[in-house]
Amino acid sequence: MTENRLERRKARTRAALVRAAQEFIADGKLNAPILEITQSADVGMGSFYNHFQTKEELFHAALEDALDTFGQVLDSLTGDLDDTAHVFAQSFRLTGRLHRRLPELSKVLLHNGFELTRSGKGLAPRARRDIESALAAGRFTVADPELALTIVAGSVLALGQLLHAQPDRDDAAATDQIAEDLLRMLGVPADEARDISRRALPSVAGSDVA
């Protein structure tokens, strides 16, 4: 906020373009003409080129922004815990709940499928860190953390897809069940996996998400 008014106006225009782009991506309208995007952002056609060279560049910025926001929201929700397995489970359970809470952003991630997995931003580095901590602490016994991360990342995405495709399904129940299954996959005994994935969560409901 140290910028002057001119820079803030510029940032607003850029943010409007990014937000509009996210709507188009979420709707799968990846071929939308630039003019339509700028109209949806309530910004003149020419302004687009003050910020981006191509539509791809805008869409990339939109994805990065979605990854960032998702990660930041997650960080704001997760507290410090002693048990590393509990840390992992809590993050996963909160992430699952975000698909319905931040549907636009969630769909942006899903549409870009596995950029998510490979990107250095967003959820992947956090998940990798949590898995490696739990391995080091002896809570997980999986052979290769990168392969474990692969399963977890794929599950996060497929779960999001499921929750958008079946709006009547209880998202918390589905997410917690998958968390439990994944804990077992990671080497946690079945009864403990069940317990860990049913503990109380820091409230998502109340939090001013997005």
Partner DNA sequence: ATTATCTATAGATCTATAGATAATGC
Q: Kindly give the residue spans of alpha helices, DSSP state H, lying in the chain.
A: 5-26, 34-40, 48-51, 55-77, 84-101, 103-111, 115-118, 123-136, 145-165, 171-185, 190-196
Question: How far apart are the C-alpha atoms of 43 and 127, rounded to whole Å?
Answer: 37
Q: If binding is defined by CB under 8 A, does position 210 make contact with a second copy?
A: no
Distance in Å, CB of 99 to a second copy, minimum: 12
Rule CB under 8 A: choose which of 78, 117, 119, 133 binds a second copy: 117
Q: Residue 22 CB, nearest distance to DNA (Å)?
A: 17
Q: Which of 18, 37, 43, 178 binds a second copy (CB under 8 A)?
A: 178
Q: Which is nearer to DNA, 30 or 137 (CB)?
A: 30
The CA distances from residue 70 to 49, 67, 103, 121, in Å, are 27, 5, 11, 10
Amino acid (1-letter code) at residue 156: V
- SS3 (DSSP) at 80: coil
Select from 126, 189, 130, 178 the least CA-distant residue to 154: 178
Cα 57 to Cα 38, 53, 60, 78, 162: the distances in Å are 14, 7, 5, 32, 29
Find which of DNA, a second copy, none residue 19 binds, CB within 5 to 8 Å per kind.
none
Interface map 29-68 toward DNA (x if CB under 7 A): --x-xxx------xxxxxxxxxx--xx-------------
> Looking at 92, 156, 171, 196, which residue binds a second copy (CB under 8 A)?
156
Residue 13 or 84: the one with the smaller Cβ distance to DNA is 13
Q: Which stretches of the chain bind a second copy, using CB under 8 A?
A: 30-31, 110-111, 113-114, 117-118, 142-144, 146-148, 150-151, 153-159, 161-162, 165, 174, 177-178, 180-182, 184-187, 190
